[in-house]
C-alpha cells in the first residue's frame, strides 16, 4: 500500500497517510499541575479514564503545523496528566482545522481529533488565536512572547501517550525538539462546553516554541482490557 493514498469518506476523498509522521512548525505550550478533583469533574473525561487520574504535569498546546504529511493545519489540545496504573498520558480534548489530520489522527494513533475552524494571526511579539463553532467562541487568546531563546525537547517535557479508540489502546511516544521563548497568555476566553475551563488556573510555565520539529512514530497496540 502506498504511503499516501486517498480513501472514501462520506462520499468525498481524504488523504490517508500512515505513520510515522514528521512535522514542523511553531506552537505554544502551557504547563500545569492540575488538581485531581478538577480533572475528574471539569474535563468531561471519557468513561475509560474516569477515576484513573494519577497526577503529573498537564499540558495545553496550541500548534501551527506548517509542514505535515497531510499539509499545514492548526491544533488545540489538552493533556491533563497521567492516567491508569501505567501512568501514561492521554489527550482528552483536541481540535484541528484539517479533516485529513482529524481522520488520520484517529486512525493512526487513536487521538480523538475534532474539526473546527481556526484563526491564527501572527504579529510582532504575539499571536492572536481564535477557534469558533458557528457563532460560539470555543477558545480565544492573545499569546505574547519574548526574551532569550532556549532549547525545548521532549526529554525535558516528555510525552508518552495511551489513547483508546474503538476499544483499542494506542501507545505512542512522540519525540521533538525546538527553540523556545517565555510566553504569557492574555485575554483568554473559552467555552467550557467545548474545552476545559483553564481560565482560573495559572500555568507553571508558558513557552512559545518556534521553530520545532516532531516525529510521531508508529504506535504499539493493546486491547481495552489491559
pLDDT tens for 1-36 read: 344 455 555 557 888 999 999 999 999 999 999 999
Q: Which residues contact 89 (CB under 8 A, 6 or more apart)?
A: 56, 79, 81, 82, 83, 159, 160, 161, 162
Pairing of strands 118-123, 205-216: unpaired
Total-model pTM: 0.93
- The answer to whether the beta carbons of residues 179 and 209 sit under 8 Å apart is yes
Cα separation, 64 vs 32, in Å, equals 21
What is the pLDDT averaged over residues 69-86?
97
Answer whether residue 209 shows pLDDT above 80: yes
pLDDT of residue 32: 98
Domains within the chain, CATH numbers bracketed: 5-223 (2.40.400.10)
**How does DSSP assign 117-137, residue by residue?**
-EEEEEETTEEEEEEEETTEE
Amino acid at each position: 500500500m502506498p504511503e499516501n493514498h486517498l480513501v472514501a469518506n462520506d462520499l468525498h476523498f481524504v488523504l490517508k497517510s500512515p505513520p510515522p509522521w514528521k512535522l514542523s512548525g511553531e506552537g505554544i505550550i502551557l504547563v500545569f499541575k492540575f488538581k485531581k478533583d478538577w480533572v475528574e469533574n471539569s474535563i468531561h473525561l471519557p468513561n475509560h479514564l474516569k477515576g484513573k487520574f494519577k497526577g503529573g504535569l498537564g499540558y495545553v498546546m496550541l500548534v501551527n503545523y506548517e509542514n505535515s504529511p497531510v499539509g499545514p493545519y492548526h491544533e488545540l489540545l489538552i493533556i491533563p496528566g497521567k492516567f491508569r496504573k501505567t501512568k501514561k498520558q492521554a489527550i482528552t480534548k483536541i481540535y484541528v482545522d484539517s479533516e485529513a489530520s482529524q481522520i488520520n489522527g484517529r486512525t493512526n494513533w487513536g487521538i480523538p481529533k475534532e474539526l473546527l475552524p481556526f484563526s491564527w494571526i501572527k504579529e510582532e511579539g504575539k499571536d492572536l488565536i481564535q477557534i469558533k463553532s458557528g457563532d460560539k467562541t470555543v477558545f480565544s487568546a492573545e499569546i505574547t512572547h519574548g526574551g532569550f531563546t532556549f532549547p525545548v525537547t521532549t526529554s525535558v517535557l516528555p510525552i508518552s501517550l495511551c489513547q483508546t479508540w474503538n476499544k483499542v489502546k494506542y501507545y505512542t511516544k512522540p519525540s521533538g525538539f525546538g527553540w523556545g521563548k517565555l510566553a504569557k497568555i492574555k485575554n483568554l476566553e473559552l467555552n467550557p462546553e467545548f474545552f476545559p475551563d483553564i481560565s482560573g488556573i495559572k500555568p507553571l510555565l508558558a513557552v512559545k516554541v518556534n521553530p520545532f520539529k516532531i516525529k510521531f512514530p508508529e504506535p504499539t497496540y493493546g486491547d481495552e482490557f489491559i
